[in-house]
Amino acid sequence: MNTQRTNGKSRWGVAGRALAALLVAWLIVDKVAGVVAPAPEVGFWRTQDGERAYAQAYDDVMDALPVADGVLDVTTAYGTIRAVRWDGSDPGPPVVLLAGHSSGAPMWAENLPDWIGKRTVFALDPLGDAGMSSQRVPLTSFEDQAEWISQTLEGLGVERAHIVGHSFGGSNAAILAVRHPEQTATLTLLEPIIVLEPLPASALFWATLTQLPVPQSLKDHAIAEIGGVTVEEVRERSPMSVMIDAASSYYSTALPLPRTLTDQEWQGLSMPVRVDLAGTRSLAGGQEAASRLNRVLPHAEVTVWDHATHSLPMQERATLGPQLLEYWRTHH
C-alpha cells in the first residue's frame, strides 16, 4: 500500500531540519573517510574533554523529557548497551527505538512526549557510535548489528517488540527483522539508509567535499545540500545540535556499512511492516524505494511524505506520533 502525504506543522522547526542534515552528513562523511583511513576496531572517545562535553549535552536534552522509569545497562557479547525506559499503560509489546548516527536516545526527544505514558518505550544508545553504550568487541558485519540488538532485548526481558528505526537506526531495525523475526512484533522504518536503495551519488559528492581543505562556508553549504536545508539552518544551534557536534568531533565510530537487502530478504518478512519515506531529497530512495517495496512486499504500509526531508520523524511529528500509537494498538 503506497500513500502520499503532505507535511504538517511541527514544533521541531528549523533546528530539527538542520540536525537531520548534520546526522546524515556525518554518517556519510565517516564512510568516505573510512576509504582513506581504516575505521577503528571499536568505537572510542578521542579526548576526555570531548566525552564530557557530549555527556553534558546528552543530559541537557534528556532533562527536558519526562523522568525515565529506568536507565539500564545491558551486557551483550559485543559490549554494554544503555537502554532508557518509560513505562506506559497500553497493553502489548513495548516499543524499541533505534536512533540515527551520532545521536543515541536523545534523538527521539521531539517524538517521545507523544508516546510516554501511553506505550512502554525503550530508547537504545547504539553500539560503536556515540552514546552511553560501551563497545567491547568489533562489529565485523552489518549482521552483527542485529545480534547486539537481539541480545539487548533478551537482557531487557523483552520477548517481542515494536521495532522503530530512523536513518542508520532504520537500517539496523531492518536487519534485526530479517535475522530475528521472532522478536519483531512490527517493523517501522523511517527513512532507512541503504537497505532499500543505495545512497544517492550527490550525497556522496557533497560528503566528500566536507573532507577537503575548503572554507567552512563551503562545508556548511555541502551539509545543507545533503540534508535538504538552508545554510542558515545548518548553523542554527540548539542543545541537540551541540550534542551531535560533540559526537562528530570527538568520537571515532566503528560501524559496518549497511547493505541493500535482497528481494528475498524483504519477502521473508511476515510481520507487519510500515515504511515512511521523504518526498524531498530522500536519502532512503524516496519514490523508487516505495515502488520497490510495493513490488516485493505488498503487505507493507508505505507512505511517501511529499514535502518531508530525511528529518521526517521530527518534521511530521504531529501526524506521525498518533499514527504510530494506533499502528501499535492495531498490531499486537
Whole-number pLDDT of residue 38:
54
Instruction: List the grid coordinates of 10.
Output: 511541527
37, 54 Cβ separation under 8 angstroms? no
Amino acid type, 315: Q
Instruction: Compute the half-sphere exposure of residue 263: CA atoms within 13 Å on the CB side of its CA.
Output: 6
The distance of Cα 116 from the centroid of its chain, to the nearest Å, equals 19
Answer whether residue 22 is part of any domain: no
For β-strands 79-86 and 121-124, DSSP reports them as antiparallel
Nearest to 223 by CA among 12, 16, 34, 29: 29
Contact 79, 138 (CB under 8 A): no
Tell whether 309 is covered by a domain: yes
| pLDDT at res. 36 | 44
Among residues 84, 82, 73, 126, the alpha carbon closest in space to that of 102 is found at 126
pLDDT in tens, the chain (332 residues): 555 554 443 433 444 445 555 555 555 555 555 544 455 589 899 999 999 999 999 999 999 999 999 999 999 999 999 999 999 999 899 999 999 887 899 999 999 999 999 999 999 999 999 999 999 999 999 999 999 999 999 999 999 999 999 999 999 999 999 999 999 999 999 999 999 998 776 666 666 666 567 787 876 777 677 666 677 776 777 787 788 778 877 888 888 889 999 999 999 999 999 999 999 878 899 999 999 999 999 999 999 999 888 889 988 999 999 999 999 999 97
Residue 24 lies in a domain: no
Q: pLDDT value at position 15?
A: 44
Residue 308 belongs to what H/E stretch? none
Q: Is residue 266 part of a domain?
A: yes
SS (H, E, C) 118-145: CCCEEEECCCCCCCCCEECCCCCCHHHH
Q: How many domains does the chain have?
A: 1
Q: Residue 174 sits in which domain range? A: 2-16+39-205+238-330
Q: What is the CATH number of the domain that holds 291?
A: 3.40.50.1820
Q: What is the pLDDT of residue 271?
A: 98
- Which H or E run includes 270? none
For residue 26, tell me if it sits in a domain: no
The secondary structure of 157-224 as a DSSP string is: T-SSEEEEEETHHHHHHHHHHHH-GGGEEEEEEES-SSSSSPPPHHHHHHHHHTTSS--HHHHHHHHH
Q: What is the pLDDT of residue 35?
A: 46
User: Is 43 a member of any domain?
Assistant: yes
Whether residue 28 is contained in a domain is answered as: no
Q: Is residue 58 part of a domain?
A: yes
In this prediction, residue 96 carries a pLDDT of 98
Q: What one-character DSSP code corresponds to residue 117?
A: B
Indicate left, alpha or beta for 164 from its phi (over 0: left) and psi (-120 to 50: alpha). beta
Nine-digit cell at 304? Answer: 511517501
Cβ(147)–Cβ(77) below 8 Å: yes
What values do phi and psi take at 134, rounded to 5? -130, 115
